[in-house]
Amino acid sequence: MNTKNKKTKTKSQKLCLLGATAFSTVLMVPLAANAQSLAEALDLPDNVWVGGRLTQGTGVYFDRYGGGTGVGPSQFVAQFQAEWTPNSNVTVVSDFWLRGDWYYDLDDGDSIGPGLQDFTKSPPFLDRFDFLLSQDGALTLPEPFGNSGEENRILDDFEQDVIRELSIAFADSEGRASLKLGKFQRGWGQADGLRLLDILNPQDLRQRSIFTDTEDLRIPQWSAALSLDIDQLGLAAPFEGVGLKDPSLEVIYTPVVRHSEFIVNNPTPNSSTSGGPFGLPFPRLVEGQSGFGMPLLGARLSDKETDDWEDSEVGIRLKFDVLGGQGTINGFYGFQDLPIVVNTGATVHIGTFIGDPNAAGVINVPIDLPTTIGATNAPGQYVDFIQALAAGTAVPGDFPLIPFGCLDILDPGAGGVPCSITADFDLDYTLRQKTVGFSFTRDMTEIRLGRKDVSPVLRLEAAYEFDKPFNKGVIQNPFVPGRMTVGTPALITTRDDTIARRDQLSVMVGFDYNFWVPGWESQRSSIFMTTQFFGIHTEDADGLLFQAPYALTNVEENQGFITQTYTKGFLNDKVTLDGLAIWDMDKGGVAIRQRIDFSVGGGNWKPRIEVGYFSGKDEQGLLGLYNKSDYVEFSLTYQF
């Protein structure tokens, strides 16, 4: 989550930045062409391996807000990997990468490239108020909605973003134990497209969200991983007594914790950044629904994170063979990846309609949490007025003198001054996550299907989370008995009142299958397919928010998903079709990613065409959140 202030750049700095990016891209081909010869020139010993990749993409977004197409994802990656094995007991791994996207600023501060958000070019509600517009319909007030794509330009924080892995592993010669220290990632579970047990690492949602490759989606953390072969240690008898063969134990300890990273397209006073179509929409504060946007009420977001050594995470996994397959029992005690929203107060801006604290002549009046709650929920208060206005029920003369002598914008002749409110929210990442689960995979050799008598592979996974925190979307009004406050105004309350804790059970049943098409006698290789069915049950889910304040749909008591993947090679695998589809069975959303990969130049050059498509109702779950994020991208990768 990014809530930093936008950095101001001079025109020369912008030109230098654009020139440096273009120069590095132009150099990609000759550098890649010489990468292999450079490695050979180093005359590295046999126990040292080096490799890497250079990638540059360019694309377009389509089906955007406002219609039409626009500059799409143009991501670049420069990655260098090295591995050194001084002896059979020690392995040292380093993996560094630099990622980003094309970006530059125009003189007026608008961004061209992936950060462009047409729908934020003016506040979505201001077209209702003619007195705020000039005769030609242009906005006469200062533009409050920044859309800088700078945060996507380059992910260059060395410790957090550039170091992908820096680790040393020690292994016992007899295979009894191994210890890995440093920064790395570990994957758990069997699920594709959605994750149930793969929760050791937070997720990087900044550039392509759920369509990022799994290994790239995980954010590595500084950790220690101890693996013990229980059988080799001579301690397997108790496990074998209950049918668990070849048991092994893995313990992962993470002393300094990170949360998932995302960018909010946030027009609030403390941030004007944009994550492009994959940025989360800015908070729209309105009663009962959020698609319209509430006039005169904004949000200021601040991160509340874990930062102490005692705020650590630990995961444990027992692996074993059972019932002809491989199983695991998992446990995790850590922190939530995504935040709970907690209101801490507000600021009333006297002299501006758009929450601009720096506008000329503006008086900023901080108000504490109790006063903020009163202004939002007590009858006749300021926010009641603008809630009625947003709902279209206010008429001129209603609330002629609201607090601080503010102007009734439906009756500007009645006097008063323009006012607006900015609510202060903590995005709180300090709540614990407590999860147990299991996974199981088995080759179903007793079943033969299709014209080649292929056996499917069964995959099972389940996770049970205790006391998962949610924001409430419905609360009891603190001033009017029997009246309920609904939507984002329900977030204007105390920490205790806004958080609900519920147990949640998630289950996945999946099948892998090598499919041979009936009648396609010339088919030289199978189509590898994985079909997975997900069920998520949340106890007492009524009135809970899916993810406040960006997806205000209620949590379903029972939520179902289906994912489908397939991979098929053609022309001796020189062309590969790779697809992923996700269906939200309850909200009606669908997401499809289709790739066409080419292998040329001995497999070193890898051109790719990738199409991403989302369909869903606005703010209806995860897929509806990305409803306007459709894209097509061509990229070229050189691996060495």
Q: How far apart are CA 616 and CA 590, in angstroms?
A: 6
Q: How many residues does the chain have?
A: 640
What percent of the chain lies above the pLDDT cut of 70?
73
Q: What is the pLDDT of residue 69?
A: 72
Q: How far is CA 253 from the centre of its chain?
A: 23
71 - beta bridge partners?
Answer: 60
3-state secondary structure of 576: strand
Q: Is 74 helix (H, G, I), strand (E, B) or coil?
A: coil
C-beta separation of 464 from 449 below 8 A:
no
The amino acid at residue 123 is P
pLDDT value of position 4: 40
d(CA 490, CA 521): 62
* pLDDT for the residue 75: 86
Q: Quick one: DSSP state of residue 384?
A: H
Q: Give the chain's count of helices (H) and strands (E).
A: 9, 32
Residues of the chain with pLDDT under 70: 1-42, 64-68, 102-152, 265-276, 281-297, 354, 379-405, 407-416, 549-552, 618-619
- CB proximity list for 582: less than 8 A, separation 6 or greater: 193, 194, 210, 561, 562, 563, 590, 591, 592, 623
**Is pTM beyond 0.75 here?**
yes
Go through 584-593 and write b for each residue having 16 or more CB atoms within 10 A of its CB, e for each that does not: beebebebbb
Q: Tell me, what's the pLDDT at 527? A: 96
In whole angstroms, give the CA distance from residue 453 to residue 467: 46
Question: What sign results for the dihedral spanned by CA atoms 633, 636, 639, 640?
Answer: negative
3-state SS string over 420-465? EEEEEEEEECCCEEEEEEEEEEEECCCCCECCCCECCEEEEEEEEE
Instruction: Confirm if 145 and 126 have CB atoms less than 8 A apart.
Output: no
- CA 84 from chain center: how many Å? 33
Decide: residue 181, CB within 10 A, 0-12 exposed, 13-18 middle, 19+ buried.
middle
Which residues have CB under 8 Å from 43's CB, separation 6+? none
Would you state the pLDDT for residue 386? 53
The pLDDT of residue 39 is: 53
Per-residue pLDDT at 330: 98
Please list the residues that pair with 428 across neighbouring strands.
Answer: 304, 340
Which positions ≥6 away from 159 have C-beta within 8 Å?
none
Q: What residues form DSSP beta bridges with 203?
A: 218
Measured on CA atoms in the order 257, 260, 261, 263, is the torsion positive or negative? Answer: negative
Minimal CA–CA distance to 108: which of 126, 123, 121?
121
